[in-house]
Each structure stands twice: as C-alpha cells, then as structure tokens.
C-alpha cells in the first residue's frame, strides 16, 4: 500500500534554516526518488503549552513510498529535531490510493 509521508518543519528566516531545508530536500530525494517542499506559502501552527499559545511558521515536506520503515523514520525524526533545534518534529503517514 502506498503512503504519503508529511514532515512539518519550522521556518526561520536564516541562512542556517535554508541550509537545513536544502539538506532535507537532498536527503529525501536521494532516499525516495523525489520530494515536494511547500515553501512558498508557510503555514502557521498554533498549540497550547502550559496555558500559553505557541506559534510556529512551518513548511511541509512530502514524499510517497510503498512501505513505511518505522525505525528509519523514527531515527530521521530525532535527527531533524536536533538539526532544527525543536522539541518535536511531526512526521505523519497517510495511506493513499493513486487515481
């Protein structure tokens, strides 16, 4: 069954962040043969943390894959959390049907 994997990445207007996004693009392209980065219209993420409202601007990286290697994705998520200096990076997978 094919899956759409989405990675929600924080956006900061800095050279380091652009370098990180370029690295994610290159890594996912090499591993999965392609990637889509929604970088021209960042979304705003809001969540409550201890009574305070936190905000993040995010971009979404998407890849399609025929199987989910949970161990690889878990390791990659931890690597992204360190690289982007985030407490948590969300990676989600949705089964898809190609039409």
CATH number at residue 80: 3.30.70.120
Question: Is residue 57 predicted with pLDDT exceeding 90?
Answer: no
Residues with Cβ within 8 Å of 4's Cβ and at least 6 positions away in sequence, in order, are 62, 63, 64, 93, 94, 96
Q: Note the pLDDT of residue 72.
A: 98
What is the pLDDT confidence band of residue 81, given thresholds at 50, 70 and 90?
very high
The domain tally of the chain equals 1
Q: What is the pTM of this model?
A: 0.85
Range of the domain at 55: 3-95
């Amino acid at each position: 069954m094919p899956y759409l994997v989405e990675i929600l990445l924080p956006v900061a207007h800095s050279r380091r962040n652009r370098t990180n996004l370029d690295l994610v693009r290159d890594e996912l392209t090499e591993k999965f043969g392609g990637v889509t980065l929604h970088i021209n219209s960042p979304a705003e993420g809001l969540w409550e943390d201890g009574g305070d409202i936190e905000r993040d601007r995010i971009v979404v990286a998407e890849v399609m894959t025929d199987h989910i290697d949970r161990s690889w994705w878990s390791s990659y998520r931890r690597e992204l959390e360190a690289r982007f200096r985030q407490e948590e990076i969300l990676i989600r997978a949705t089964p898809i049907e190609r039409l």
